[in-house]
Amino acid sequence: MATTTKIFKRIDGLSQFFAEQLVERMKVLPEKHFFSIALSGGSTPSSIFQYLAANFRETLAWDRLLVFWSDERCVAPDDHESNFRMTKESLLDHVPIPTTNIFRIKGEDNPALEAERYAKAVGQFIPSYNDIPRFDLMMLGLGDDGHTASIFPGNLHLFNSKKLFEIAEHPKTMQKRITATGTLINNAQTVAFLVTGEAKSEMAATVLYRKPGSENLPASLVDPVNGDLLWLLDEKAAGKLQTNI
């Protein structure tokens, strides 16, 4: 696994780089192949998606992008908490992506049944590597507690599950979530952490420098053994990193 860390002055620069990576990787797609991405939720992606919609509407081959999610809150798709709603409002409603390329996690359905259904859908549309579906790009965020996707500290059994998706629970709100597991995440061709804001600076340094105690954090277990790991941070989130990395 190759790890690359890039630091950007502001989120616009990070978004530009992320978008250019997408464009470049899609340019070399074999004919008739699709590029598969699993999107993360939360607030950081919203700004990145808005940038993509505003600046890459014409540049990116949206009809060859298959959009999945790395996690979703167990709420209706029009709920303000929904990662799908956030993505729809900041990106999908503004770019020419066919609806047939969009595979949302149905947060409104029974979590156990939906985790199973969604795992099947991923298996059906995403080519496998070592008998596990392999996303071209898995987008992840970093929580200030070291969570990623919806795997929170103290729930490493979810990361280590052999399933592709599991049911998680937010430690504070008890909100149920459906989350990709480490089995799926670590099989991706590329995993990209997109991390912004000073609130993440301590945790980013803890995970990136493998500080004592980090070994029990879900984000530390992200290790695409046959792929690449990309850390994209803005200067505030990178505030506790040595700049020569």
Chain residues that interact with ligand 6PG, rule: CB under 6 A: 40-44, 71, 83, 141-143, 147-150
Rounded distance between C-alpha atoms, residue 6 and residue 193, angstroms = 10
Edge to edge, the sheet with strand 137-140 lists: 2-8, 228-234, 190-195, 137-140, 35-39, 65-69
Edge to edge, the sheet with strand 176-180 lists: 71-73, 176-180, 165-169
Rounded distance between C-alpha atoms, residue 17 and residue 99, angstroms = 26
Rounded distance between C-alpha atoms, residue 133 and residue 124, angstroms = 9
- Which is nearer to ligand 6PG, 43 or 226 (by Cβ)? 43
Q: How far is the CB of 191 from ligand 6PG (least distance, A)?
A: 12
Helix (H) or strand (E) holding 169: strand 165-169
Q: How far is the CB of 143 from ligand 6PG (least distance, A)?
A: 4
Q: How far is the CB of 76 from ligand 6PG (least distance, A)?
A: 15
Residue number of the CB closest to ligand 6PG reads: 141
- Which is nearer to ligand 6PG, 149 or 207 (by Cβ)? 149
Collapsing DSSP to helix, strand or coil, 212 comes out as coil
Q: How far is the CB of 53 from ligand 6PG (least distance, A)?
A: 18
- Which is nearer to ligand 6PG, 133 or 143 (by Cβ)? 143
- Which is nearer to ligand 6PG, 85 or 147 (by Cβ)? 147
- Which is nearer to ligand 6PG, 41 or 227 (by Cβ)? 41
Q: 60 and 95 in contact (C-beta within 8 Å)?
A: yes
Q: How far is the CB of 95 from ligand 6PG (least distance, A)?
A: 21
